Structures are given as structure tokens and as C-alpha cells.
Amino acid sequence: MDTSNSPRIISETTPLVVVAKTKKPKTPLPKLQIGILMVLQLVEPIASMSIFPYINQLIRELGITGGDDAAVGYYAGIIVGTEITMSCENHNFLILLIGYNRQESLFFVAQTLTMLRWSRLSDRIGRKPVLLVGLSGTCISMLCFGLSTTFWGLVVSRCMCGVLNGNVSVMKTMVGELTDSTNMAQGFALIPIMWCIGGFIGPLIGGTLARPQDNWPGLFANPFWSKYPYFLPCAVSASGIIVGFFVLLFFLEETLSTKRRPKLTATTLGNPNGVDSNDREDPSQTFNMPLQSLLTPAIVIPIANYAMLALLDIALMALFPLFFSTPTYLGGLGFTPSRIGLWIAMLAISDGIFQALFFAKIVDWVGPKRLFCVSVSCFAPVMLMFPIMSWLVHTRGMVDYAIVFTLISQLALTIIWDMAFGTVFMFITASAPTKNVLGTINGLGQTSASMARVIGPAFATSLFALSKEHNILNGNAVYVVLIVLAGILRWLGSQLPDEIQDRDE
């Protein structure tokens, strides 16, 4: 019998068996529950960003600066961001950046101190109660901010918001629990677009509704509005939070398995406790788990990546307005505030739309680890664009098409860089050994990122100031240091697991 064809038959049929093991079909997202979470993701940045347009004017009107405009930047920076003054002796020039930062400094300091506690509490009592407390804290904080007539009143209200709000971590935990390995990327891709929309609506509310007695004297003639001229934008922002509170209260389902209401099935009806034994996890064994037992390489590596990612990202966001506003003879672009705002707004809008439309598809195409490594590798060329633009301005003497092309290229690279956030969230979520410690792990990650965001702006802007003032590496030392840190992040990314752990089996 001729057996010459046997090996060929085996070699031809074996791939067919392998191909049969295709990827699991994508699970549809639970649209109502994810939609409610996205509403909550929207109302919080609206509230926090609404104070940015008028904070400097508010500080000035409190009379605590004695008419010193430079001091306004200092006090505003304590509340909403960072402020740096750089004296360039060689050029007799003073660069003053007043209170720009994508995040609020006091909020992050307070949040860093309490985030982990809220996250651990959510593993014990459930996600919904913690979210409700967080929304209540933000609402009360906004109302107190609008009614504050002293600087310390403003400080206490912002600290209150940070202390009572652990929602960022808990909402990410819920997205992780509402998704599985097939649709996790789709769920996390929705978060950036909500923050971008909130970052657009919030300043619009603050800028339009501040001092309503001046803009609409007929409607706001009551002396109350003269005494509290910034209460209206705070009240409108708080109203959005109240709507989110009741939507959460009545329509959002608990996702913590030990606190979730059991569905009436044959299994639960036959169980005297009404709980499916397959879904039962002992909370005493998970919530009381010491933190040291969670500090394993599988958990620490994704969190370390997230912390370094947050540090470099917030440093980049602090450098953008600093470089754009620096005069051309000092190596910047000399942009006006309106032009700076235009470029940053273009970045935010483009970034959010791109992440929402393409992030999940790109993850499916190249895989989460490869995408993360490609994304973080874009940080070095983003940094190199700064000295390239300085050189172009120096040689050409004006902002022309070459610089605009470089700016657009930098914007595109920054969008690719931001895809690293969605992927690292996936790795952090998948690193949880059990579902009932997912909140704690997200809390560890968010605490680490908050610490990085407290340090990052001052670190980057101080390096920028030193580089320019002392002409270190021809004024480019800040970019070299950040590129070295990006190299460390690239190495950390290579330590991530090759595939996202399948939590569904």
C-alpha cells in the first residue's frame, strides 16, 4: 500500500484543526450599564474643569495678593495647577506661567492619600455606595467652592473633593467587571472621549456663567449674585452631578459579585441563600488580604508601567504651554494664549475621537502588549520635536509651514502615545487574582498615578527652567532626561505579559 501521501494528508489537515480554534466571538457591551458609567465619567470633568476660566479673576478679587499679579499665579496654582517663575539672567526676561495644569494639584494630593482606602472599601461594601459618596463629595465641594469668599475656603473645598472622591478608580473597576477579554478594549476606549467632552463643556460653563450679574443684570439683580459672583457655574456643574447621582442610584447595577442581587435561576432557587455557588467568593478571604500579598510581579509590573506613563504624560502636558508661550529668542514659539488654547483643544478633541473610534480595532489588530510598546516608543520623537521646532524658529526667524507640519506631526505622535493608557488599564484589570480584589488593585494603580501627577508638572517645568536659564545641553536637557525616562518605560513595557489573561475561563 502506498503510504507516501500519509504525511501530506496529515500536514494538510493539521492547520485546519488549528484554524478551527479561532478567537472567541466578541461579547456585546452591556450598553445601559456602560452608558451610565460614561455619564458619570462626563459629569465629573465638567465640574472640575469649570473653574479654570475664572480662577485667576476669583483669586484677584479676594484681595489676598495686594494687587500683585505675579502672586495671583502662585495662589491659583495651589488650587488648580502649577505655577513657575523663571528668571533668565542672560536675557533679563521673566517667564511667568499662571496656573496651567491639566489636573488640579490639591485634588491629586488629597486623592493620593485616600484613593486606596476608597478602592479597598469598594471591594467590601460594593461599587455603588462608594460611587454615590464620591458624587456627593464632588457636588458638595462645588457648591462650597461657589460660596467661598476666602482663599482657605477655596482650598478646603478642593481638598474635600479629593478626600471624598475615589470614583476614578472604582469606575475603571466597574468597566473591567462589566467587560470580558473580548470586549474590554471597547469599554476602556470610551473613557477618554468622555473626559475630552467634559474638558470642553466644563470651561464653556465656567466662562459663560461666571459673574452673571454683569452679563444678565435683569435676571440676576439680587444682591446674592454680587456677593457670590461665581456660584452659578458651580451650581450648574453640581446640578449635572445630582442628575448623575440619581441615575446611578436607580439604574446602575452592582458589579461586585458578593453584593450583586442574584438572578432567579434554577440554581439560585434551589439554593437556600439564593446565591449561585459558582459566583460565590468569600469576601473575608479577599478584602482582608494584606496588601503585601498583592505586590507580586504580575500586579506590580502593570502598576509600575501606569505610574511611569502618568509621570511622563503629565510632564508632557505641562511642557506644551510652557514651550509654546516661551519667546522665540529663548527657544520657544512665542504663541499667544489663544493660539496655545487652540492647539491644546485640537489635541484633546482629536485624541478623544481617535481613541473612541480606533483604539479597540487597533488592539484587536496588533495586540495590547505590542500596541503599548509602540505607543510608549512615540514619546522620544514627541520630545525631539521641541528642539527641532526651536531650531527651525532660530534658522527661519518665524513660524512657517515647516513648524506647522512639525506641530501636526507631534500632535499625531501624541495621539498614538495616549493609546498606552487604554492598554495599561487592560493589563491592570487582568492582573487581579480574584474579582473581589480588583478594586484594591485599581486603587493601587490610581494612587501611584496620582502621586506621579503631583510630582510630574513641577519636575518637568523646573527642568525646563534650569535647561534654559543655564543653557544645559543648549537648553535641551529637559528633553534628554524625559527621553531617558521614556526608555525605562519602554523596558518596563517589555516585562508585561504577552497576552491579556483570559478572566472568563
Where is 98: in which H helix or E strand? Answer: strand 93-100
188-222 in b/e form (b: 16+ CB < 10 A) is bbbbbbbbbbbbbbbbebbeebbbbbeeeeeebee
Mean per-residue pLDDT, 303-311: 94
Question: Computed from CA positions of residues 220, 223, 229, 233, in that sequence, does the dihedral angle turn out positive or negative?
Answer: negative
Max CA pair span of the chain: 106
Q: Is 157 exposed, middle or buried (0-12, 13-18, 19+ CB in 10 A)?
A: buried
Instruction: Report the alpha-carbon distance of residue 332 to residue 321 in Å, rounded.
Output: 10
Q: Residue 95 in 3-state DSSP?
A: strand
pLDDT higher than threshold 70 for residue 3: no
User: Please, are residues 147 and 228 in contact by the beta-carbon 8 Å criterion?
Assistant: yes
User: Please, are residues 278 and 70 in contact by the beta-carbon 8 Å criterion?
Assistant: no
User: Please, are residues 80 and 101 in contact by the beta-carbon 8 Å criterion?
Assistant: yes
Count other Cβ atoms within 10 Å, centred on residue 224: 11
What pLDDT is recorded for position 235?
Answer: 95
What single DSSP character describes residue 100?
E
Please name the fold of domain 31-255+294-494: Growth Hormone; Chain: A; (1.20.1250)
Q: How confident is the model at residue 19 (pLDDT cuts 50, 70, 90)?
A: very low
What pLDDT is recorded for position 467?
Answer: 81
pLDDT digits over 317-371, tens only? 878 877 887 787 777 788 776 677 678 778 878 888 888 889 888 998 999 999 9
User: Please, are residues 252 and 221 in contact by the beta-carbon 8 Å criterion?
Assistant: no
What single DSSP character describes residue 332?
S
pLDDT digits over 52-96, tens only? 778 778 877 887 766 655 555 556 656 655 443 333 333 333 333
Mean per-residue pLDDT, 382-403: 83
pTM, two decimal places: 0.77
pLDDT digits over 254-274, tens only? 988 777 765 544 444 444 444
Question: 388-397: long-range contacts at Cβ-Cβ below 8 A with a sequence spacing of 24 or more?
Answer: 389/323, 389/333, 390/331, 390/332, 390/475, 390/476, 393/328, 393/331, 393/332, 393/333, 394/328, 394/331, 397/328
Phi, psi (rounded to 5 degrees) for 87: -100, 120
Percent of the chain with pLDDT over 70: 78
Domain boundaries, the chain: 31-255+294-494
Higher pLDDT, 455 or 231: 231
Instruction: Report the alpha-carbon distance of residue 328 to residue 426 in Å, rounded.
Output: 42
Query: Which runs of consecutive H residues, i.e. helices, occur in 397-437?
Result: 401-430
Q: Residue 85 in 3-state DSSP?
A: strand
Count other Cβ atoms within 10 Å, centred on residue 374: 18
pLDDT higher than threshold 80 for residue 314: yes
pLDDT higher than threshold 70 for residue 6: no
- Please report, as a single letter, which amino acid is at residue 215: N
Instruction: Report the alpha-carbon distance of residue 381 to residue 386 in Å, rounded.
Output: 9
CA atoms within 13 A on the CB side of 12: 5
Phi, psi (rounded to 5 degrees) for 84: -135, 135
Q: How confident is the model at residue 37 (pLDDT cuts 50, 70, 90)?
A: very high
Instruction: Report the alpha-carbon distance of residue 137 to residue 123 in Å, rounded.
Output: 20
